Amino acid sequence: MMRVHIKHRDLVLYGSLAAGLIAALIALGVFLPRWLSTPPEEGAAQETPAAEVRKIRARLFYVAEDGVRLAPVEQEVLYGEGALEQAKRIVEAQLGPARPPLASAIPAGTKLRTIFLTQGGTAYIDLSQEISAAHPGGTTNEILTVYTLVNALTVNLPAITSVQLLIDGREIDSLAGHVDLRRPFGQDLQWVM
């Protein structure tokens, strides 16, 4: 009686083990070839549906060596579908930390909340309050901060002709008291090397 009982219990155990093993084998059979065949070659990546790694080259702006101009730097930026999404990717890249020889005119910690794009081609970049609160000041510096963002969008995206900065969804007078931000700005290469 007892043995039968044990045998019966073992049977259930082996059965479920075997089922699990088969399932694992099937899973391996299906997925292993993919794992093995996906060393991501950049060229092939464009054709595969892996959209999240698709990139474009964009011109971003950093404080030049002389400290009073912006230097354009070609950089890879994530691809975004349409002008609005691409604008967000460009601004996010521009807000990121600058690689060592470069210096950014945008205060560290500034985050993109969102971008609104009007039919007329004006982009409203809504930023977190660090852009103002953590701004080190100085007229030249503030001008460079503003034109970093204005030029990053207008130079790379022809659909955007002017840019206005917002903080926490609100229109602002200025970032650090110098630049009149009550209206949108068009591209200005006066500040670019």
Comparing CB distances to other proteins, the nearer of 128 and 174 is 174
When asked if residue 52 is in the footprint of other proteins (CB under 8 A), the reply is: no
Which tokens go with 72? Answer: 């354009």
Q: DSSP assignment of 65-81, as one string?
A: TTSSSEEEEEEEEE--S
When asked if residue 178 is in the footprint of other proteins (CB under 8 A), the reply is: yes
Nearest one of 148, 168, 129 to 60, comparing CA atoms: 148
Site for other proteins in 14-43 (CB under 8 A): none
CA within 13 Å, CB half, 98? 19
Distance, in Å, from the CA atom of 113 to the CA atom of 167, rounded to the nearest integer, reads: 9
Distance, in Å, from the CA atom of 137 to the CA atom of 176, rounded to the nearest integer, reads: 6
When asked if residue 96 is in the footprint of other proteins (CB under 8 A), the reply is: no
Q: Which of 105, 125, 127, 192 binds other proteins (CB under 8 A)?
A: 105
Q: Which of 103, 116, 121, 130 binds other proteins (CB under 8 A)?
A: 103
Q: Which of 71, 73, 93, 176 binds other proteins (CB under 8 A)?
A: 176
Residues lying near other proteins in the complex (CB under 8 A): 63, 65-68, 103-105, 136-141, 143, 162, 173-174, 176-186, 188, 190
